[in-house]
Chains A and B, each alone.
Chain A
Amino acid sequence: MSRFRVAMDIGGTFTDVVAYDEEVGGYVAGKSSTTPGDLTAGVLAALATVDAQPERCSFAVHGTTQGLNAFLQRKGERVLLLATAGARDVYHIARGNRTRLYDIHYRKPIPLVPREDIVAIAGRLNYAGEELAPLDREAVRLAGVRARADGFGAIAVAFLFAYLNPTHELEAEAILREELGEGMTISLSHRIAREWREYERTSSAVLDAYTSPVVRTYLGRLESELTERGLNVPLHIMQSSGGIITARSARQMAVQTLLSGPVGGTMGGVALARRLTRPNLICVDMGGTSFDVSLVIDGRPDISSEAYLEGLPLLMSVVNFHTIGAGGGSLAYAEAGGLRVGPESAGADPGPACYGRGGTQPTVTDANLVLGRTDPTWFAGGQMSLDVDAAHRAVQELAGKLRLETVDLAEGICDVINAKMAQAIRTLTVEKGIEPRDFALVAFGGAGPMHAAFLAKELEVEEVIVPRFPGAFSAWGMLETEIRKDFAQAWFSPLADADHGKLADAAGALERDAEASLREEGIAAGHGRVEHALDVRYAGQEYTITIGLLSASEPLEPGFDDALSGRFDEAHERRFGHSNPGAPVELVTLRVTAFGDLGRARPQPLESQRGDGYAYEERPVVFGRSNRDARIVRRDALLVGAVVDGPAVIVENTATTVVPPKWQLRVDTYGELIMRATDKEA
């Protein structure tokens, strides 16, 4: 009976479900309104829409924004932070930098723990992890007493050099457990991020303490309700790294699930890269008010070992997301007689004028509506209808100020935002040493496919891919990933001075931890693999590049130093455009990652047809400042092999794809829409 592999992605407005039916070899997607009070109700309703009740699931994966929402709304647990005496203010000094340079009113991101809730604890290690002063056990005990008396819900412990020697943090944990029992959340910095830089490690531990009680409670409830209703396979959770873990592990280190929702899209990109043999993809996720870009390079997600959440650092493997201040919600306005679009956004509230929630300034979403590129009755799969008149009024009023025709301004707003989004993507790729022309563009989210062809044109990208279920692509991506567990350990040494035996021993120990963790995740022997890497840099640099090792014992091989430096020089050349062969190299962090295969959907090719034998209607849509007769086609009317020449608009439940004039769309074997520029017009 268990025949569905399902992914459940709970967003702010909708809960998306994508299910792969192993019997027929095909996918179905469903959605339901998110039910904020009791999220499981929304999940169950969404599962019911595709007839994949819990007992019928052979594999279940879930992406959650619970932790992230608690963070964004500052509704996490009240945290008491224990820090090394003398370094108590490190968390608030926050390295003293500023991210906006022309601002005498600059404030740092507000820390999650106020200064009075940071307790200085005597006890000190040195640069080698050796004890200079013993831990003040009494001070730790008193902190525990205070935590209970004042009702703190979590404790973070971050001591200097704990990444080298965790003894003091572990001692503190034992004392606190004695004082507070097993129920209290205690986040130890070395466990969350075994890396140097005390501010970043402290911030990571605090983020864990702040969000994990919420996530833990939620996951516990979700899992038990699903089990009660018949789920008889382990529930898996998407991590920020793009890999998944069992809900049981996720409860132990909930901070890893913080960006669980959006990374599904990037992992969907990875799966498309594999399926379409297109290894390099720019993934564009554009919703009504947001615009996120991530990259797939050589078939792998672009992952970084550090992320910032509203300016607060998190040392953890995280898919690189670039949130660009331009999107459907970007406001258009007049300034000094000129037109401006963004970076200010109408946000979700009041949102674009056409949402009818009181917004009166025109946004990109309003402009699309005025141009006829959005179907007002089909927005969000018909769950929300748009007010065309309100959009028209908003654009018209600005057009009056700028002495333009309403329709001309509407298209102009789109042209400006497309140019800006493309420029932002281009700058991102230049920073990485990548030429956008070598990439294809994957567009998803409700509005991504609407702008994709225009972005591709600006970037000289040849091909645009609109996956199936573009509005639920994150959920689809979750079905296509694998178990991933990251292990890291600070290993600072100039390469020339490195003790190769100790390095190999440390890598071996991490490898054993990694393998044990795969067994804990339920991965059978032969279904896992382990990768090893070192963070390397030239002496004098601060930032590092992660360089792969062939095995845990590679450091013992003769010629290891030359081999590693050579790989590093090459990576540096690729990333920064130059290298410095022969210059002294430093090792900073040792990393081991375990992957476990949980099987994957093997879909059947879809039904095919030839040419343009599909139903459509014609409606005027504005392109090039004038009304053109465009074919309006429902996506489910298009079978594999179908070809649609622009101008056309493809509508479906979760998104709208715009095919501009001189573009052609073709439906690929598995149902993806592939768009390319052509010379001919329909």
Chain B
Amino acid sequence: MATGTLDPITTEIVRSAFTAAADEMNATLIRSAYTPIIYEMKDCSVALLDAEHRVLGQSAGLPIFLGNLEICTRICEEMYGRDGWEPGDVWIMNDSYMTGTHLNDMTAFGPIFVDGELTGFAACRAHWLDVGAKDPGGPMDSTEIYQEGIRLGPLKVVERGRQRRDVTDLLARNSRFGYPAAGDLGAQIACVRTGQRRLEAIVEKYGRETLEAARDEIFAQTERLERTLVAAIPDGVYHAQGCIDDDGTSDEPVWVRVVVTVAGEEMTIDVTGSDDARRGPINCGEAQAISACRVAYKLLINPDNPPDGGAFRPLSVNVRPGSLLGAEEPYPCQWYFTPLGLLIDLVVKALADVLPEQAAGASYGDSMIIGLAGVDPRNGRPFFDLEPTVGGWGAWQGSDGEDGLINNVNGSLKDLPIEVLETKFPLRMTEYSFRADSGGAGRWRGGNGVIREYTMDCDQAELFLWFERAKTPAWGLFGGGTATPPAVVLNPGHGDQRTMLKASRVPLSRGDVIRTMTGGGGGYGSPTERDSDALSRDIRAGHVTADVARTIYGLNAEEQQQ
């Protein structure tokens, strides 16, 4: 290849053209999606790949979708051969053991032919509202994958440019919300076609030879950059472990164990020591475990550059088949992201000693889902409120962690405003506030979690909960304190008061109060080193109580007077 003739200017223009093509695919997907989970919450991701399944451009989407869309085109090629690709085709798949995620995540992809030659692939993944699981949206207590919805290996949905009506019909029929499902499918197909058109235009503009030379140089630059960054980390073997509370069907903790080995320019993340796959839906396919490790690596090593085919070359990930992070049939995967949020925090923890500036204390951890279902007495119609809850993030060198922020495996999700909640559902939100002292203490304090309290304004309803990380609350770093774990209390202060974290179909009646409390983030550095101005600001603001200021931060009464 004539790399000698290629100048850095052309390389940089081609690099930004690839990224822009991916941005345009993303804009097409979001613009034409039918369900808010895609166009509002951005629970989606896109990639433009070359003919060898390497990433040319990727648009910032859901972090844990990062860096494994190419597994889908690879698997399809393994199953149906290189000759199986035909111009104008689009495929779709969602098998958890192949794609790594839950069945709600549909990946669409298609080959890109330019002048009759296979030149690349376009792929996108998006969360579908419902894929026909035993419960609406997805179950909280499934014990095998067959309860979680329709499961697809690579399936051709567009054949030589024509959308297959039989396949579209099959998909729509297997969703409780068939119409939007077909709409979101259409959006994904439009996204793949945008990728096909853009790559064709790029090849036409710059010529195949220049493009290939530029691509090789782009990958080489990224690899060089990452190797330099990894080489700067002291060699060694670094460990961390933590557990999620249970698998939703028993009380047993589920352990995730991480060993990070840094040797020169190479890093290996080994998660083989994690527990075996479990009966409840907290398992995850290997592809997503790898993806989560890549997210953690990227957060620490090179958060700013969009990933391309040269990224992650210094990183190997070892996953044990049959473990909860390498789930196999028929283990359920609906809540596959619960161990992944923990895994990302654990990789950061393992490397904290050698990357003290990049690291941060752990975050509150999981999506903290509450579901409330019943009949709205105002109009006699059924309602279903399903919400994740924000919490505290870990502190880092130089800054407190953020208070009340959505968890790291979610997209750009926003909380539901009280005025919208009370208008749409027969509920009242009697409190939405920061939970004082819930963040771990520290020279830099962990962020506080929140209290969200619901009062029922209907006669009958059911409560669903998926709250997590009580057994491994967010840890601090370098002497920073551990955060308060989450808690949910039903009817606090009453005779029938109950606490719980995970629940399915708990009956509720009018006037019942559900008080949810999310955990904080871990602290950083010893609390006694906290700047006294920062501490008095915290006390004034009520983020830290006077009691904790005295007992944990060591503020004496005299200072407190000031």
Chain A interface residues toward B at CB < 8 A: 86-90, 92-99, 101-108, 114-116, 126-127, 160-161, 163, 196-200, 335-341, 402, 404, 408-409, 411-412, 415-416, 419-420, 423-424, 426-427, 430-431, 433, 492, 497, 540-543, 575-578, 580, 583
**Binary flags per residue of B183-203, CB closer than 8 Å to A gives 1, else 0:** 100110010000000000000
Using known A-B contacts A101-B60, A337-B224, A580-B34, determine if residue A96 contacts B404 with beta carbons closer than 8 Å.
yes
Cβ-defined contact, B413 with A97, below 8 A: yes
Using known A-B contacts A101-B63, A106-B393, A106-B405, determine if residue A198 contacts B418 with beta carbons closer than 8 Å.
yes
CA distance A108 to B434 in the complex (A): 15
Output the least CB separation between A159 and chain B (Å). Answer: 11
* Cβ contacts under 8 Å, A160 to chain B: 418-419
* Cβ contacts under 8 Å, A419 to chain B: 13, 16-17
Q: How large is the interface on B (under 10, 10 to 19, 20 to 34, 35 or more residues)?
A: 35 or more
Interface centre among B23, B63, B179, B186 (most CB of A within 10 A): B23
Pick from A198, A426, A543: contact of B40, CB below 8 A.
Answer: A543
* Cβ contacts under 8 Å, B190 to chain A: 577
* Cβ contacts under 8 Å, B406 to chain A: 96-98
Q: Does any Cβ of A come within 8 Å of B394's Cβ?
A: yes
Given contact pairs A337-B8, A427-B24, A580-B34, a sample of 7 additional A-B residue pairs in the complex whose CB atoms are under 8 Å apart: A86-B432, A92-B403, A98-B406, A104-B408, A160-B418, A197-B420, A430-B24
* Cβ contacts under 8 Å, A542 to chain B: 36, 40
Cβ-defined contact, B31 with A433, below 8 A: yes
* Cβ contacts under 8 Å, A94 to chain B: 404
Q: Which residue of B lies closest to A114 (CB)?
A: B541
Q: Does any Cβ of A come within 8 Å of B415's Cβ?
A: yes
* Cβ contacts under 8 Å, A341 to chain B: 12
Output the least CB separation between A149 and chain B (Å). Answer: 16
CA distance A578 to B34 in the complex (A): 9
Using known A-B contacts A426-B24, A580-B183, determine if residue A101 contacts B16 with beta carbons closer than 8 Å.
no
Q: Does any Cβ of A come within 8 Å of B430's Cβ?
A: yes
Pick from A97, A106, A116, A420: contact of B542, CB below 8 A.
Answer: A116
Interface centre among A86, A103, A540 (most CB of B within 10 A): A86
CA distance A161 to B415 in the complex (A): 17
Cβ-defined contact, A578 with B183, below 8 A: yes
* Cβ contacts under 8 Å, B420 to chain A: 196-197
Cβ-defined contact, A103 with B404, below 8 A: no
Interface centre among A101, A402, A431 (most CB of B within 10 A): A101
CA distance A378 to B412 in the complex (A): 46
* Cβ contacts under 8 Å, B405 to chain A: 96-98, 106, 108
Name 25 A/B residue pairs within 8 A (Cβ), A-sorted: A87-B431, A97-B405, A97-B413, A97-B414, A98-B412, A101-B60, A101-B61, A104-B360, A104-B394, A104-B408, A105-B360, A114-B537, A115-B542, A127-B422, A196-B417, A335-B221, A338-B15, A338-B217, A341-B12, A415-B13, A420-B20, A431-B27, A431-B31, A576-B31, A583-B179
**Binary flags per residue of B368-396, CB closer than 8 Å to A gives 1, else 0:** 00000000000100000000001001101
Cβ-defined contact, A412 with B20, below 8 A: no
Cβ-defined contact, A197 with B8, below 8 A: no
Q: Which residue of B lies closest to A424 (CB)?
A: B20
Pick from B8, B31, B403, B404: contact of A338, CB below 8 A.
Answer: B8
Interface residues of B in 286-324 (CB under 8 A from A): 295, 298-299, 303
Cβ-defined contact, A198 with B414, below 8 A: no
Interface residues of B in 416-437 (CB under 8 A from A): 417-420, 422-423, 428-434
Q: Which residue of B lies closest to A118 (CB)?
A: B541
Q: Does any Cβ of A come within 8 Å of B354's Cβ?
A: no
* Cβ contacts under 8 Å, B542 to chain A: 115-116
Q: Does any Cβ of A come within 8 Å of B399's Cβ?
A: yes
Using known A-B contacts A86-B433, A127-B423, A161-B419, determine if residue A103 contacts B303 with beta carbons closer than 8 Å.
yes
Q: Which residue of B lies closest to A343 (CB)?
A: B304
Cβ-defined contact, B298 with A339, below 8 A: no
* Cβ contacts under 8 Å, A420 to chain B: 16, 20
Output the least CB separation between A579 and chain B (Å). Answer: 10
* Cβ contacts under 8 Å, B379 to chain A: 497
CA distance A430 to B434 in the complex (A): 40
CA distance A580 to B218 in the complex (A): 43
CA distance A433 to B418 in the complex (A): 32
Q: Which residue of A lies closest to B35 (CB)?
A: A540
Output the least CB separation between A671 and chain B (Å). Answer: 35
Interface residues of B in 28-53 (CB under 8 A from A): 28, 30-32, 34-36, 39-40
Q: Which 4 A-B pairs have the closest CB atoms?
A: A412-B9, A96-B390, A423-B20, A115-B541
Using known A-B contacts A102-B295, A430-B24, determine if residue A580 contacts B9 with beta carbons closer than 8 Å.
no
Cβ-defined contact, B414 with A104, below 8 A: no
Pick from A115, A200, A411, A415: contact of B543, CB below 8 A.
Answer: A115
Cβ-defined contact, A337 with B221, below 8 A: yes
Cβ-defined contact, A338 with B60, below 8 A: no
Q: Does any Cβ of A come within 8 Å of B450's Cβ?
A: yes
Cβ-defined contact, B414 with A116, below 8 A: no
Interface centre among A104, A108, A575 (most CB of B within 10 A): A104
Q: Which residue of B lies closest to A541 (CB)?
A: B36
Pick from A92, A163, A575: contact of B434, CB below 8 A.
Answer: A92
Cβ-defined contact, B9 with A416, below 8 A: yes
CA distance A341 to B35 in the complex (A): 37
Pick from B9, B34, B432: contact of A339, CB below 8 A.
Answer: B9
Output the least CB separation between A131 and chain B (Å). Answer: 14
Q: Which residue of A lies closest to B381 (CB)?
A: A494
Q: Which residue of B lies closest to A85 (CB)?
A: B431
CA distance A87 to B419 in the complex (A): 11
Pick from B27, B28, B415, B543: contact of A95, CB below 8 A.
Answer: B415
Q: Which residue of B lies closest to A86 (CB)?
A: B431
* Cβ contacts under 8 Å, B30 to chain A: 431
CA distance A541 to B225 in the complex (A): 42
**Binary flags per residue of B54-85, CB closer than 8 Å to A gives 1, else 0:** 00000011110000000000000000000000
Cβ-defined contact, B433 with A88, below 8 A: yes
CA distance A265 to B18 in the complex (A): 32
CA distance A402 to B6 in the complex (A): 12
Cβ-defined contact, B7 with A412, below 8 A: yes
CA distance A336 to B228 in the complex (A): 9
Pick from B9, B28, B35, B394: contact of A430, CB below 8 A.
Answer: B28
Using known A-B contacts A103-B299, A338-B221, A339-B11, determine if residue A86 contacts B62 with beta carbons closer than 8 Å.
no
Using known A-B contacts A427-B27, A430-B27, determine if residue A408 contacts B9 with beta carbons closer than 8 Å.
yes
Cβ-defined contact, B434 with A89, below 8 A: yes
Q: Does any Cβ of A come within 8 Å of B208's Cβ?
A: no
Q: Which residue of A lies closest to B540 (CB)?
A: A116
Q: Which residue of A lies closest to B521 (CB)?
A: A104
Using known A-B contacts A87-B418, A196-B419, determine if residue A102 contacts B8 with beta carbons closer than 8 Å.
no
Using known A-B contacts A126-B428, A431-B27, determine if residue A105 contacts B396 with beta carbons closer than 8 Å.
yes
Output the least CB separation between A619 and chain B (Å). Answer: 24
CA distance A75 to B40 in the complex (A): 34
CA distance A412 to B10 in the complex (A): 8
Output the least CB separation between B106 and chain A (Å). Answer: 17
CA distance A196 to B431 in the complex (A): 18
Q: Which residue of B lies closest to A115 (CB)?
A: B541
Pick from A88, A89, A96, A339: contact of B8, CB below 8 A.
Answer: A339
Cβ-defined contact, B419 with A104, below 8 A: no
CA distance A542 to B423 in the complex (A): 13
